[in-house]
Amino acid sequence: MVRFQKQSCQEGGYLMQIVPKKVLLVPLDPVHDVALKIINRRLKERGHETLLLPPDMSIEEIADQASKVKPDIIMISRTLGYGVAEVLSKLIDLLEVVGIRDRAKIVIGGKAIKPELAAELGFDAGFGEKTSYEEAIAFVEGQRYIQKEEKIIKKKKDITISYSYKFQHQKIENMLDEITEEILDWCKDKTSSGIKRAHLREKMMSLKAEKSKTSPYNVDKKITEYKKKYLENCDELIIKYYKEGILPKKVRVLNKKERESLEDYIKKSKEIARAKKIQHTTDKPLVFFQYGTGCPIMDIAHIKIGEAWGVDGVLHFDPSWGARTEGFLEGYLSHEEDGSIITEQNLGKIKESLNSPTLWTVRAHRGLNTSETVVLAGKLGADLTKINIVYGSLNAGTDPGRLTVDGVEAIKLAAKYNLPFDEPTNEELGGVPAFKAFAGMLIVAKLGLKLGAKPILKPLFCYSPEVMITGRMDDNYIDYNAAKIYALRSIINAPIWPGEPIGFMTHTEDRIQSSMTTALHAALAASLGVDAITIASSDEAYSRGSISVTSRIDTLRAVQETFRFLGKAEIKPTHKVREWSNELVSQIEKVLENVLKKGSFVAALYDGILGGKEDGAYPGRTGKDTIFSK
């Protein structure tokens, strides 16, 4: 055999000599010998003398070869199974008989191997399935192995940064211009209690921020004055809490011990935080999930688990009754049912818990507190918000006139606080066809652009009532979802974020199926190059209580594996995608034409042009007749 000279390599800033070793590599398992082949190659590259035996030798033949080669180290590979321990013990005995045991280090590697088991069987070391090749080589060379942590540096992403918001479809842009001009003209002399509260909230929060610079007495006095005005614009439910301390049903205040435990948890979780990445070879799509357990402590636990598994962003999900109530409560509040109550304190604590790269969305899109929610989001450091006048009016229960006035003000505030806003088209879940939902989404997007904000289009990847009826997903879930993206891209250059969550109405109570369908929709999103996705936990479709952390991890891991599987490859839709994409654009045009003919956006909402009773959409009643002149 060829003898090698001493080699040297740079390690840790100093020159280290490598003494060549004779290494005998023994695959006792005829199938699982890949690791030994890789180690063999790497040891040769570093100047060691190696001999890799074939995998079909008996232990007697192996002992004979060892006595001839006289190696410094014998590396044996074997998967554990019935009777294997006896075989390994016998091999050690034979090596001792031929005089090799005292002169060579003998190691065992394979699945289920642990150092303790290896020692019990008479080996000098044992390497399990998570052992790196570097660790095995360090053992051969007699070097101390220091595991290198994979350092992933995550940075906060701006979803909107690479988009011009230029329209590619001139006719649609012209119609949107006319419609949005009419909306702005209609809203210019109108206001509401929600808008008044938003500006009072702004003043109170600004005063709190200035408290250290001015007289605390004067600040407190002014805040008391503003709070009095604030309550004049609130519902009885909110007033009772502030004046009498009466909380709504199923709501309670977190006690001191709970708050102290939460502070401790946040501190400890930040100290051990390690960045992970869900994406493989691409940066898109970013992955978000919704939290809204009802309890800020559980919300933060879910967020920290999500961050540990690589989630890029989280969305605050509030209870539906909050959207139907004029005004916000205050304090650290927990809620027994789904949805976490929006208070300045709850949101502030969630913001404090976030890792710096994590994007945070506070949704404001559908109720009487839309404008005020944007103020809270902006003042507390959120990165994004959520506003869609059409969905909130037709499927979330708010009066179209009221939400139009409040929505326009919310968009202005989003622009002021530099908060891009996404536009969920969740009316599809109620039965509204995608083309009507998209027409409404584009109207609100154009409003945003006119008011200096940055809209993010949010079509649904879902098995909606419309496609159940039309049969457009009878063959596959790819074509029609892809057609939505193609259609929107043919109209405007804008960010697209399928949501909430992807795969909606394809999930079942089977956690494996639920994780799988989420992951497959994520693969489609990645293939289409969209900017972000929102995913559900594997029990979100049927959970009758709080969503479990294990189910949350199910889908995060499934999506990560899917991105690894797909890489930069693409999913190819059938010829139907172009046909349906062109059809969607044509249908959007017709809806916008009908809105223009109506002459009033608000009237179009009431009359079902953007989604009517036949589609399962009904104009909301909450907040009706609550608009007044400025």
Task: Name the amino acid, one letter, at 540.
Answer: E
pLDDT, residue 32, reads 67
- For the stretch 570-616, pLDDT in tens is 999 999 999 999 999 999 999 999 999 999 999 999 999 999 999 98
Q: What is the pLDDT of residue 276?
A: 83
Q: How confident is the model at residue 15 (pLDDT cuts 50, 70, 90)?
A: very low
Long-range contacts of 254-263 (CB under 8 A, 24+ apart): 254/296, 254/297, 254/332, 254/333, 254/334, 258/297, 258/332, 259/332, 261/297, 262/296, 262/297, 262/300, 262/349
The per-residue pLDDT for 12 is: 42
- What's the pLDDT tens digit per position in 468-507? 999 999 999 999 999 999 999 999 999 999 988 999 899 9
Nearest to 286 by CA among 497, 489, 482, 488: 497
Q: What is the CATH number of domain 7-140?
A: 3.40.50.280
CA 562 to CA 539: how far, in whole Å?
Answer: 19
Torsion of CA 419, 425, 426, 431, to 10 degrees: 170
What is the DSSP secondary structure assignment for residue 71, as one 8-state letter?
A: -
Average confidence (pLDDT) over 330-357: 93
**Cα–Cα distance measured from residue 371 to residue 207, given in angstroms and rounded to the nearest whole number:** 19
- The confidence score (pLDDT) of residue 131 equals 84
pLDDT above 70 for 359: yes
> Model confidence over 428-466: pLDDT tens digits?
988 999 999 999 999 999 999 999 999 999 999 999 999
Phi then psi dihedrals of residue 183, to 5 deg:
-60, -50
**pLDDT exceeding 70 applies to what percent of the chain?**
94
- Residue 545: is its pLDDT beyond 60? no
> What pLDDT does residue 128 have?
85
Average pLDDT score over the chain: 91
Q: How much is the average pLDDT of 216-240?
A: 92
**Among all chains, which residue has been given the structure tokens 């102290």?**
260
Residue 218 has pLDDT above 70, yes or no: yes
Q: What would the mean pLDDT of 68-79 be, rounded to a whole number?
A: 89
What's the pLDDT score for residue 150? 66
User: Within 13 Å of residue 267, how many CA atoms lie on the same side as its CB?
Assistant: 6
pLDDT band at 339 (very low <50, low <70, confident <90, very high): confident
Tell me the two tokens of residue 611: 């989604």
29-71: pLDDT as tens digits: 766 678 889 999 999 999 999 999 998 888 899 999 999 999 9
Highest-confidence range of 125-139, 172-186, 270-284, by mean pLDDT?
172-186
- In this predicted structure, the answer to whether residue 416 has a pLDDT above a threshold of 90 is yes
Cα–Cα distances in angstroms (integers) from residue 239 to residues 228, 234, 375, 606, in the given order: 10, 7, 21, 31
Spell out the domain ranges in the chain.
7-140
Sign of the four-CA dihedral 316, 465, 596, 491: positive
What's the pLDDT at 10?
Answer: 47
